[in-house]
Structure 1
Amino acid sequence: MGNRHTSLKDLARELKVSISTVSRALKDHPDISREMKEKVKQLALARKYSPNPLAMGLLKQETRMIGVIVPDLVTHFYASIIAGIESFAKEKGYFILLASSNESYEKEKESIENLLKARVEGLIICMSQETRETSHFKSLLAENIPLVFFDRVCLQDQVSSVTADNTDASKKITRHFAEQGYRRIAFISGPEQLNISRERLAGYIAGLESCQLPVDADLIEQCNLSHDSARQAMNRLLNLPNPPDAVFGINDTVAFAAMKEIKRHQLQIPNDMGLVGFTDEFHATVVDPPLTSITHPTYEMGVEAARLFFDQLNSKQSPKTVTLKTRLVVRESSDKAR
């Protein structure tokens, strides 16, 4: 048989019995003699037989596979969430199939189609930054295909989701800046259609108000989450007649771009300009100065997303939203006392 995967049919042919006899022997069925069970198991061991989960799933009209779509497969943020999903799925005897939207709405739709063709039993998705229209998600709901969102979410009245407490996290950042003596605090947001942009902006404004600091529309910039777009946003802030003395980005990628632009303007961090990120990527600890950032419970987010998926798969429960707390990790980029 060479390197080909040994099948039940191969074992049955060698033993000159039916496939059903082999299958029942491996399951210790009472109708099969002890002698036949031993023969089958010994041959299965010798031939390194293992069940094919896809083939078994197709027979049962289930594949035990979950499709997972993320905006990218590079950052630690998504890798950690995927690890959480995979760990919980494995406990349930399921596998995951991964796809990346590459922040593209069209690629997101294509990924959904491809994963459904691969016979996944449902999907766990973090939306692309381009996604404004949701008919492709509504089609899944119409077909009763289990669907869960995480981090970037929509249709929360219809779809279970896991998010971080973005509003509270932004409040923490703004208050931290105020405690350090910063007074003109800027925010570089992302695409307005994303819930993370809206929620973090709301927290930023609420944080300013709680510190009796004015809300200045000139200090609120927007980018498309790319390095170059974030750098341009930071440049616009620095060229204001009355520029900010602190800034935080909607994620660490934005903050890293802002850091580069601040240094290009010959400003010192944190003395001239405080800087905070969001998501606490690994690089936050190795840039100079180390970046203060909001840490997400990413692995837990993945576990909770998978848990919600199986709730939908097994009982079709009403949509549920899980909101996870975050933590502000203070490093040199915003701490004037260091």
Structure 2
Amino acid sequence: MSKRPVSLKTLAQALNVSISTVSRALRNHPDIGPELTQRVQQLAQELRYSPNPLAMGLLKNATRIIGVIVPALVTHFFASIISGIESVAIEHGYYIVIRCSYESFEKEQECLANLLQLRVEGIIMCLSQETKTYAHFDALLAAGTPLVFFDRVCRSTEVPTVVVDNQAAACRITRHFVAQGRRRIAHIAGPPALNISQERVAGYREGLAAEGLAFDAQLLVPSDLSAESATAATQQLLALPQPPDAIFGVNDTTAFAAMKEIKRQGLRIPADVALVGFTDEYHATVVEPMLTSVMHPTFEMGRTAALLFLEQAQGQVPPRQMVLATQLVVRESSGQKS
């Protein structure tokens, strides 16, 4: 069995002094005589005592730990955002603890409660797709606990948020399709309750209007962001009497699923159906044809969320809403209509 770590209590018992005396001696406090200070420090060295930052933080009510909640872990999107958060945390002497909601509202509530039990100093998070009510954040806001939302957000008048220019990006995609000769432009959207879904649908409709194309409700199909849901949406779209000649997926996962189904049905990309995704995952460059997608500044989003957290942690400041710019990366999947 491994030995338990040496604690202040261990040192105090060995020297028959109080824990506070040991603590002050280790810090060379002037109230502790030089002889006792030397004895304490010598014993600490012999026993290889190392301070426990979590325990010290609990004593000071400042654990230097940030709780991070994401809907999924096994995606480049969230991994890159977490890396951005951690880079700022390390620079400022913080640790991060990551929990995953697995797109479940119930799990999101559980993650939040667990992190608060760990005495984190605050939370940086992205909402699950099932989250439609926000009362579980009331206690944090009432207590002044730092809270920051990124990508999928809510209560933006009360909480700092980091998003991208979803509406402008979706409008850009739609108009790009038109420039390539497309007229039946479909959108596989996300869950209606999410801000990213609402904003990308708004941009899609804005782009249609700007190009003088009428909105057709049959060409707007919601999904739950999964490949399975996107496959079903693509089948629904391609079965229409007048199927689309272009499809815009709410994220790259939906676009990859649509690509697979379009090929399965013997159609050509982009000759028969053009395709654009959103996020620009690594796989966009290795599929055939390479996927046109919106490049999402994920690492920057993480860093920005962490900097907003620090603003809140260092003092009560008005919540800021940060909107990051995206870029449409044009590749083979959205080429000119033949």
Task: State the TM-score, normalizing by the size of structure 2.
Answer: 0.92
Distance 1:42 1:331 in 2: 66
Match of 2:136 in 1: 136
Match of 2:216 in 1: 216
* Aligned-residue identity in percent: 60
Q: In the TM superposition, what whole-angstrom CA distance separates every residue of 1:234-269 from its partner, at most 9, and x where no partner exists?
A: 111111111111111101111111111111110111
Q: What secondary structure does 2:215 align onto?
A: coil
Q: In the TM superposition, what whole-angstrom CA distance separates every residue of 1:84-141 from its partner, at most 9, and x where no partner exists?
A: 1122122222211111111111111111111111111221110110111111122321
Q: What secondary structure does 2:332 align onto?
A: coil
**Pairing of 1:246-325 with structure 2 (within 5 A):** 246-325=246-325
Distance 1:193 1:333 in 2: 29
Q: CA deviation at 1:33?
A: 6.2
Whichever residue aligns with residue 7 of structure 1, its letter is S
Check 1:44–1:296 CA distance in 2 against 1; reply closer, same or farther (3 A cut). farther
Whichever residue aligns with residue 91 of structure 2, its letter is E
**Pairing of 1:107-126 with structure 2 (within 5 A):** 107-126=107-126
Distance 1:14 1:172 in 2: 70
Match of 1:97 in 2: 97
Check 1:17–1:189 CA distance in 2 against 1; reply closer, same or farther (3 A cut). same
Distance 2:193 2:71 in 1: 15
Distance 1:216 1:202 in 2: 14
CA RMSD of aligned residues (A): 2.2
Say whether residues 1:71 and 2:63 are aligned partners.
no
Q: What secondary structure does 2:66 align onto?
A: strand
Whichever residue aligns with residue 150 of structure 1, its letter is F
Q: In the TM superposition, what whole-angstrom CA distance separates every residue of 1:17-58 from its partner, at most 9, and x where no partner exists?
A: 554344334434345566766665565455443321111111
Whichever residue aligns with residue 111 of structure 1, its letter is C
Q: What secondary structure does 2:136 align onto?
A: helix
Q: CA deviation at 1:2?
A: 5.3
Q: CA deviation at 1:214?
A: 2.8
Say whether residues 1:185 and 2:206 are aligned partners.
no
Say whether residues 1:225 and 2:225 are aligned partners.
yes
Distance 2:54 2:271 in 1: 58
Task: State the TM-score, normalizing by the size of structure 1.
Answer: 0.92
Q: What secondary structure does 2:68 align onto?
A: strand
Q: In the TM superposition, what whole-angstrom CA distance separates every residue of 1:131-166 from its partner, at most 9, and x where no partner exists?
A: 111111223212332211110001111111110110
Check 1:36–1:181 CA distance in 2 against 1; reply closer, same or farther (3 A cut). farther
Check 1:44–1:333 CA distance in 2 against 1; reply closer, same or farther (3 A cut). farther
Q: What secondary structure does 1:103 align onto?
A: coil
Whichever residue aligns with residue 126 of structure 1, its letter is C
**Pairing of 1:26-45 with structure 2 (within 5 A):** 26-31=26-31, 44-45=44-45
When structure 1 is superposed on structure 2, of 15-24 and 74-83 the one drifting more is 15-24
For structure 1, the residue ranges without an aligned partner over 5 or more in a row are: none
